[in-house]
Amino acid sequence: MKTVLVSFFLFIGLSVPNLNGQSQKLGNAEISFEFVSTGVKGTMAGFKTESKVDLDNLENSFFKGSVASETIDTNNGLRNWSLRSGKYFDVDDYPSISFESNHLVFEGSDLIVKGNLSIKETTKPITVKFIRKGSQLVGTTSLYSIDYGIKIKKKREDNLVKVKMIFDIIP
């Protein structure tokens, strides 16, 4: 069955210092994903966060949040129903997907956020790269659904999911 994993994340309501060192909030998040081997694309919504970001002092910053797994939407009702079932995301027993950072660092102008992603019973390390584009913060990462107990294809490399997060920065 052609299905998808997630994107998950999680960071609505973060604060991002502006050039004067003052905090700004993020709003209007768009989270999208693509299950690469099948070309299936989708979105997720319903995010909660407890994140704090101080770009002048990353040691005081962290990303922590979750998303309701039942919000997975691939623009195909039957596929969505299947993904939410016990065979894949099992949204009745695992209603959320969560992320918590453990390391933030700048690489040039990119903000690199490392942490742990939990889907169902599995928690694994993952890295998200954020860049600023005008009044938006854009994050990207990749993962393999099979690593989180969501086996869509037999081979690991055929379970690649690319995730993109776009947040509007509110002045």
In a domain, 86, yes or no: yes
* Model confidence at 64: pLDDT above 90: no
Determine the Cα–Cα distance for residues 128 and 110; give it in Å rounded to an integer. 10
In a domain, 133, yes or no: yes
In a domain, 1, yes or no: no
User: What is the band of 35 on the pLDDT scale with cuts at 50, 70, 90?
Assistant: very high
Structural domain count of the chain? 1
In a domain, 90, yes or no: yes
Give ∠ CA 130-132-136 in degrees, rounded to 5: 105
* Model confidence at 67: pLDDT above 80: yes
* Model confidence at 151: pLDDT above 80: yes
Pure H helices in 23-162: 77-84
Average pLDDT over the chain reads: 82
Half-sphere exposure of 18 (CA within 13 A, CB side): 12
Q: Is the pTM of this model over 0.95?
A: no
User: Could you tell me the CATH number of the domain that includes residue 155?
Assistant: 2.40.128.110
- pLDDT one-digit tens code per residue, 98-134: 999 999 999 998 999 999 999 999 999 999 999 988 8
Placement of tokens 């989180």 in the chain: 148
pLDDT at 166: 82
Q: Which value, to the nearest 10 degrees, does the dihedral of the CA atoms of residues 137, 140, 145, 147 take?
A: -110
In a domain, 24, yes or no: yes
**Which domain covers residue 61, as residue numbers?**
15-170
Range list of β-strands (E), the chain:
15-17, 23-35, 40-44, 47-49, 64-68, 96-107, 110-119, 122-133, 136-144, 160-170
* Model confidence at 62: pLDDT above 50: yes
* Model confidence at 153: pLDDT above 80: yes
In a domain, 151, yes or no: yes
User: What is the band of 8 on the pLDDT scale with cuts at 50, 70, 90?
Assistant: very low
